[in-house]
Every structure is written in C-alpha cells, then in structure tokens.
Amino acid sequence: MRSNRFLLGTLATAALLTLAACGGGGDSDDVTIDLSNDRGSIQRNPPTLLAERTNVAFTTALRFNADGSANANGQAILELAGVPPTTDTAFLPCGVDVRYLQYGTVGSAGEKTNASGVLYLPTGAGCTGPRPIVLHAHGTTTAKDYNLALLGSTNAAAGETTIIAAMYAAKGMIVVAPNYAGYEQSSLGYHPYLHADQQSKDMIDALTAARKAIAKINGPVSDNGKLLLTGYSQGAHVAMATARALRAAGQPVTALAGGSGPYALAAFADDIFRSAPETVGAKSGPIVGGTLFAPLLTNSWQRAYGNLYTSASELYNATWATGIESLLPTTLTDAQLFGVPPNTPKLPQAALFDADLPGGVVGSPFYGATTGSGLIKTSYAAAVQSDIAAQPCATGSSPATCTPAHPLRVAAKANDLRTGWQAGYLTFPIFMCGGADDPTVYYSNTERTQAYFLGLGMPAQFVRALDLKVAQTGDSTAITNLKAAFQARITRIATEAGANALAAVAQNYHATVAPFCSAATAGFFSQVLNPPVP
C-alpha cells in the first residue's frame, strides 16, 4: 500500500534510465483501432512499440552507468535476479520489447472507461515459442501519471518497471502490467482503490487486451496458457482478487504470489482503528502512510457503495475536508501534498487521528497534537471503534461470522479476500511474502490469510508464507541468502540514519521488502513452471 514514489526505495533509483535510451521499432500498416472502451477491447492493435532491448544491452545498462562507472543499484537488481552483478560475461537470459497497452474497462459503478499499461515480450534466440504470462499488479501510488510503460527517470513508475523487466520479462516470461483505471491517460476521474470487484475486472480486461495483442503481433513469442498472478502491497490484494474472479469465471490460474498485501481487510481495518492490540504483541494503530491511503480508500468505497458519509466533512477534519475527494491520485509532489514550506499542506504527513481519540497517544506523530489537526474526525473514528467493540472482525481466520454495522467496516468486509472462495477454486499454489516488522501493511494480513486457506483444506505446501525477517526450518540456500541480504539492507538504513534509526527503518521498511519479495516470487514461479523431477 505504500506510495510507489517510495516503493522501491533506493534500490532502483540509479537504474531508472536503464531502458530509457531504447529505440522504438515500427509495426506493419495492419493496425486496428477500437475506441469503444468495451471491456477487454484494445484501442490500438498491435500496441505501440516503445522500446527494444537485447539481453546484453539491458544487463550492461544495469551493470554500468552511462559514464562507465559501476551502477551499484542496477547491480543490486541483477543480484536479486540471479545474475552475477560484476561478471561482464553473465547476462539476463532474454531481451525485452516494451509495448504501450491501451484497453477498455469499467469503473466501480460499471461505467465504461479506458486504462493503460505495459506489455513486455521477451526476445532473443533462446526466448521464443510459447511462454507463460505474468499478470502484475502495482502497489499504491499517488502519482496520477504513473505509467509502467515509461522507463525514463521522470516517471514515478520507472523503478518498478525496471524490476518487472529484470525479474520476469528478461527471464522469458510475457508480462502484462496495467496502470489501473484512474491513472495515466484513463478518463475515469477517480481510482477504485482496493475495490476488489472493479480491480479484478481491470486486471482481467488488461489481460484480455494483451492476449489480443500477442495474437495480432504473431511474432516469435506466443501465450502458452499458463497464467502467473503477482503484485505487491495494494497489488497483492488486486492479484488475489483477480485470481478469485478468474476461478469464479471458470478460467485457469497457474500460480498466485503476493507481497505484503492487505488481504484481510476486515481485520486490518479494525487493527488500525482499535485503541489497543487484539492480542499481546500484535500490531495495531495507525500505519505508516495512512494519511495517503485513507483518501484513496474512502473515495473509492464511497463511489462504490455511497454510504461511508453524507459529506467529506463528516469523515475528515475541516482543515483537510475541502477538495479531498478529488485530491488523489494527483500531479502534486510530496512536498506540495504535505506542505513543505512554502507550500500549504493538503494532508497531514502522519497524523491519521487526533490525540483525543480513545487510545490516542499524545506526542506520537500518528495522532494530531491539537483537535482537528489529524486527518480523520474523532467522532467518526470513535463510531468505528464502538462498532469494533460490538462486533469485532479480527478474531479468527475468516470474517464470515462478523456482522459489522458501521459502513466503513461493512465495506472492509466486502473487500476482505478471506471470503468468496468456492469449492474447486483453489487449484493452484499460493505464495505470500512479507516482513514481520512492516508498519505499513501488518504481516498479520499474511498470517490470517494463510490460516484461512489452510482452513479450506489447502495442503500446507500449496499455501506458503515467507517472512523475510525470520529464519525458518527448511529454508533453501537461496532463501537464506535472500533473508540475509534483506536484513543487511535494513541494518544499513538504520546505521546511516544514526539517531533517527527507528524512524528511518519504519519509513522505509515496507519499500525495502518489495524487491526482495519480487526475487522470491520469481523463484517461486520458476519452481511452479519447472517442478523438480521426483
């Protein structure tokens, strides 16, 4: 859920120009235009080819900067992708073609709209023939122009798209990654954030359009019918919702992998609002990044259900209420959003609640020091707390027996992914990755969701969870090394921050987990596609 402006941390910041210098190629004159915005339609087929990169050129650009100096961050990506970062003769297996995908989909009310994304096609002599598709869902971003098809440093998506290219496309997989309705050139005036029904439709529509494009291109790469779903943070929720929707429609899914996803939304929402942890040692209270997520979430669910509030001033304190329903996604910078001088703040940086809320902590940055300085009104938050006390949703591994009355909690239950899985849906392995100390998306989401799937009768080996913090019996050498590298990066963040170590780790933890979960996901997909011979 963390804003993708921070999602990849410092890992990819020097690798953003990796593909930016690629030249686009041409297509034949046989181009079909469809502006109907019907679900799964493709506006331009074949989609525009934005960039071409050989495996050698791509690897070299990650390994070295333009001036020939070592690209430390690009080399870190190569290492996570399993390529020796400083060995000049070792390369990613495949090159990549990058195509700009524009397709028709729907908003929360079923209204027609358009959206965009990227289609990656692997290239190279050893990367032809039928290939699996990775359907990737991105995490939370406040950037309206977020575009995974752009690979230059000026776009907020540049870091993530470099990771996708290296981890999946350059290893021989077709990649489809939508920007989502409400972003980039989409005409939808809002983003249906964590609205499981709409977001799964958006993903399926992007996949449908991409398959039409692959058939139209009729190149050396084709779809072999195997579908791998993945995403991080918000994207993990989207990927799991999409898997459920595909299975409900009788469509096959080969595997699902999610990183740090807010799957158990009914319980997670309760944890954020509750005044004390449900159990000793459990995480609760406001989350890092909560003041960005709240407007995205409430605007989305208000559009979908219409009953979270009668006016924004019922939910938000007066300082923030005006204009908040149309604030995100935005073209504003973080400095403009949070009011770094001389800007006037549009949102508080951390204070989700006021300190006078029951359980509020005076002096904590997550609670406004003065009445009205936090984002959410105490009267609204206290009503949620009262409903939690009357009918908690956090107990147990499923919200099925929970009957919340408050409309915000009703919406959270409706989008909790521990519901709606019918007999016969779970025919594929599930992998969930995260970090136990995540202050943005509590790891309890993964634990509760794993327990739910196990309770449905899934074998333990088919629903696996990886905590990057904790060594586990049976960890492979690769996973042991991955965990060590993750812990080393957390230690480095703390060391470099000195006296501000705790705050620095909290601010960067969720973002730091992301590339390591991507590497673990790539390994999981490889095992699914190439199971060991008994």
| pLDDT under 50: residue ranges of the chain | 2-19, 21-23, 25
pLDDT at 153: 61
Residues 368 and 485 in one domain: no
SS3 118: strand
Considering the domain boundaries, does residue 2 fall inside one?
no
Residues 376 and 463 in one domain: no
Which CATH number belongs to the domain containing residue 519 in this structure? 3.40.50.1820
Considering the domain boundaries, does residue 25 fall inside one?
no
pLDDT at 29: 67
- Cα–Cα nearest to 309, from 404, 381, 360: 381
User: For 190, which DSSP code?
Assistant: S
Domain count across the chain: 2
pLDDT at 476: 95
pLDDT at 257: 99
Range of the domain at 345: 288-397+409-414
Residues 330 and 429 in one domain: no
Considering the domain boundaries, does residue 402 fall inside one?
no
Residues 373 and 437 in one domain: no
Last residue in a domain, options 414, 443, 458: 414
Considering the domain boundaries, does residue 273 fall inside one?
no
Distance CA 190, CA 224 (A): 35
Considering the domain boundaries, does residue 271 fall inside one?
no
Share of the chain above pLDDT 70, in %: 93
Rounded (10°) CA dihedral 490, 495, 496, 501? 80
Residues 138 and 250 in one domain: yes
Give the list of residues 6+ apart from residue 520 with CB closer than 8 angstroms, or none: 431, 433, 466, 468, 479, 482
Residues 203 and 90 in one domain: yes
Last residue in a domain, options 379, 414, 449: 414
Considering the domain boundaries, does residue 162 fall inside one?
yes
pTM equals: 0.95
Considering the domain boundaries, does residue 516 fall inside one?
yes
Handedness of CA 452, 453, 456, 457 (dihedral sign): negative
Strand order in the sheet with 463-467: 48-53, 95-106, 112-123, 174-178, 129-137, 221-232, 255-259, 430-434, 463-467
Residues 359 and 244 in one domain: no
Residues 89 and 203 in one domain: yes
Residues 309 and 433 in one domain: no
Residues 154 and 258 in one domain: yes
Residues 393 and 422 in one domain: no
Last residue in a domain, options 380, 414, 448: 414
DSSP 16-79: TTTTTTPPP----S--EE--S--TT-BSEESPEEEEEE-HHHHHHHHHB-TTSSB-HHHHHHHH
Considering the domain boundaries, does residue 4 fall inside one?
no
Residues 110-160 pLDDT 10s? 999 999 999 999 999 999 999 999 999 999 999 999 999 986 567 999 889
Tokens 């957390």 correspond to 490
Residues 139 and 235 in one domain: yes
CB 121 within 8 A of CB 189: no
pLDDT at 456: 94
